[in-house]
Amino acid sequence: MISFPFFKPRKDPVAALYGDIVAASRAPEAYRVFGVADTFEGRFERLALVTTLVLRRLQTMPPPAAALAQELVDRIFAGLDEGLRLAGVGDLSVGKKVKKLAQGFYGRAEAYTAALEAGEATLRDALSRNLLAGRVPPDAVSQGLLDEIAGLNARLEAASLESLLAGGVLSAHYS
The tens digit of pLDDT for each residue in 113-167 reads 999 999 999 999 999 999 999 999 999 999 999 999 999 999 999 999 999 999 9
pLDDT above 70: percentage of residues in the chain? 94
| 143 found inside a domain | yes
pTM of the model: 0.92
- The 3-state DSSP class for residue 15 equals helix
Please report how many Cα atoms fall inside a 13 Å half-sphere around the Cα of residue 141, on the Cβ side: 22
Domain count, the chain: 1
67 CB contacts (<8 Å, ≥6 apart)? none
The answer on pLDDT for 1 being more than 60 is: no
Decide if 2 is inside a domain.
no
Computed from CA positions of residues 103, 110, 71, 164, in that sequence, does the dihedral angle turn out positive or negative? negative
Whether residue 156 is contained in a domain is answered as yes
Within-domain flag for 154: yes
Domain-embedded: residue 138: yes
Residue 5 lies in a domain: no
Tell whether 102 is covered by a domain.
Answer: yes
